[in-house]
Amino acid sequence: MIPLSAGELDARLRELLAEDVGPGDVTTEWTVPADARARGRLLAKSACIVSGLPVARRTFALLDPALGWKNEAAAGTEAAPGATLAELEGRARALLTAERVALNLLQRMCGIATATRRYVRAVAGTGCRILDTRKTAPGLRAFDRIAVADGGGSNHRAGLYDQVLIKDNHRRLAGGVANAVRRARDRAPTGMKIEVEVETEEELRQALSAGADIVLIDNQAPETVGQWSTLARHSARPPWIEASGNMTLDRVGAYAAAGADAISVGALTHSVEAADISLELEVQPT
């Protein structure tokens, strides 16, 4: 699943290649014969959850439309150290020039998918979902969201346009939770969810009274999340409950057990530990 059209994906990848290549890959062009061909494999050097291989493939193919590609590992599967993620062949210069951009995206995406899988496992059996956030590197959000989904997580709103999320600054500038929710409700199209972040029980009660669809309980202890979740679910129109605030792997289980329907984890994408993946090439016999 790539949340970009084919044209959008190519445009994004061409921008990334242009940043790296500039007026030319001097090392490759000055050392590798123009007619040389190579074959190789993408090799996992650390254990990881697979994500991003279609993106990597397209990166190489933009520089070599006749790229050969086979034995691609399925997205979401576990790869052990030493596993081959895909095999490829093509013009040697094209493979070398595209290598860094392809690997940067692939390593980042596998790293995000791997971290997401750990969080998903930490809340297994509770019914709680792990969500990503908008804390992504500019320009890479679409790729980050793919990786979260490949890791078994769920995507939160894509941007500022597809869901209302009223946070602390919105509340203050709008004159409180109730005013902010009502104003958003007056403008939101049918079907668009309205979420509001609350930090006190009074703000929670205002959100419930105003008819928020989702309540985001931020920076509270699991016990408080449990108490507020119970209060919310006994309201006339029970909302969905999301918990957030410095969520770490050792804390999410307690919040899931407390009754959160979902936990948003900024660390999935703002503190990425890239997977270790290499491209091993050799001369392709003619």
CA proximity to 104, closest of 49, 48, 50, 56? 56
Spatial separation of the C-alpha atoms in residues 123 and 121, rounded to whole Å: 5
Give every CB contact of residue 31 below 8 A, 6+ residues apart in sequence: none
> CB of 17 within 8 A of CB of 62?
yes
Spatial separation of the C-alpha atoms in residues 230 and 259, rounded to whole Å: 8
The owner of tokens 């104003």 is 183
CA proximity to 42, closest of 55, 25, 24, 29? 55
> CB of 142 within 8 A of CB of 120?
no
Spatial separation of the C-alpha atoms in residues 260 and 240, rounded to whole Å: 8
The owner of tokens 């007056």 is 186
Could you list the active site residues?
Answer: 100, 135, 167, 197, 218
Strand partners, 218: 244
Q: How many CA atoms lie within 13 A of 210 on its CB side?
A: 25
> CB of 62 within 8 A of CB of 97?
no
Q: Would you state the structure tokens that stand for residue 283, as one six-digit string?
A: 């001369």
With residue 262 as reference, give the H or E element that holds it.
Answer: strand 262-264
